[in-house]
Amino acid sequence: MKSAALIPARFASTRLPEKLIQDIGGKSVIQRTYESTLATGLFDEVWVVTDHLQIQEQIQAVGGKVFFSQKTHESGSDRIAEALSKVNAELIVNVQGDEPFQDKKSLEDLLALFEDDQVQVASLYFSISPDEAQNPNAVKVVLDDKNNALYFSRSPIPFNREKISDLSFKKHVGIYAYRREILQEFPSWPKGKLEQIEMLEQLRLLERGINIRMAETQHQAIAIDTAEDLERARDYWEKLTNS
């Protein structure tokens, strides 16, 4: 079964302006994301899907494939769905453009979930502390006994009413894998109430009764949302290159 990684790359960003073209060790964030995704060797195709000429030029400068988005989109999944006309694959992985250091093992585990024919959409999580669970920028997930997501929230879930000391909180990693048909349908569905409240695109799937199968990862991705995140990514790259 052919697989493709599509990287949505919207130029505008609120907390860190123009974050995808910020420099990490001589290349931009989006170039690092593209190259680290390609380097996993897991995908038949890797594309960046963008709305901005500067991002297009930067990806083409490293020999990458670019789909230039013609529409306005509310989520990354909506954006990559527009590019499916150019992509020849049955499994589509939405790789976040602001996570420059992709992990091969995590992406392998994600793709392996589709060996179960019942899986239509899949994603990843890792365990976090109760303190980190209080952060609304860390999206939490709770699972059923088949590792399907029951709910995602910016609030700490589950609520620890009984003060259980060893309660595990799970942080969602914003990488999604779809069977092609589901992703093609996704943009035609209206945003549900929960998606509008939490501003989390994955709730659109749950509100329509579509399961999201989850796999645990040990890799804690560096997602760049703030200037502090960018400095952390630069420090990580420097240590990586000097090790």
Residue 10 belongs to a domain:
yes
Residue 65 structural domain? 3-125+172-242
Among 217, 225, 240, 230, which residue's Cα sits nearest to residue 104? 217
Higher pLDDT, 198 or 15: 198
Mean pLDDT of the chain: 95
The residue type found at 28 is S
* CB-based contacts of 216, cutoff 8 Å, min separation 6: 124, 125, 126, 127, 170
Give the domain CATH number at 209. 3.90.550.10
Residue 156 belongs to a domain:
no
Domain count, the chain: 1
Residue 187 belongs to a domain:
yes
Is 99 within 8 Å of 24 (Cβ atoms)? no
Is 123 within 8 Å of 212 (Cβ atoms)? yes
Q: Is the pLDDT of residue 13 over 90?
A: no
The pair phi, psi for residue 9, each rounded to 5°, is -135, 80
Residue 103 belongs to a domain:
yes
Residue 152 belongs to a domain:
no
Is 241 within 8 Å of 235 (Cβ atoms)? no
Average pLDDT score over residue span 172-178: 95
pTM: 0.93
pLDDT digits (tens, 9 = 90+) for 147-161: 999 999 999 999 999
Instruction: Work out the number of other CB atoms within 10 angstroms of the CB of residue 93.
Output: 25
Give me the pLDDT at residue 191, please: 92
Average pLDDT score over residue span 159-182: 94
Give me the pLDDT at residue 41, please: 98
Percent of all residues in the chain with a pLDDT value above 70, rounded to a whole number: 100
Residue 135 belongs to a domain:
no
Give me the pLDDT at residue 243, please: 77
pLDDT band at 14; cut points 50, 70, 90: confident
pLDDT band at 221; cut points 50, 70, 90: confident
pLDDT digits (tens, 9 = 90+) for 52-103: 999 999 999 999 999 999 878 888 999 999 999 999 999 999 999 999 999 9
Q: Give the orientation angle of helix 53-61 with respect to helix 29-39, to 10 degrees.
A: 40
Residue 196 belongs to a domain:
yes
pLDDT digits (tens, 9 = 90+) for 177-200: 999 999 999 999 999 999 999 999
Residue 46 belongs to a domain:
yes
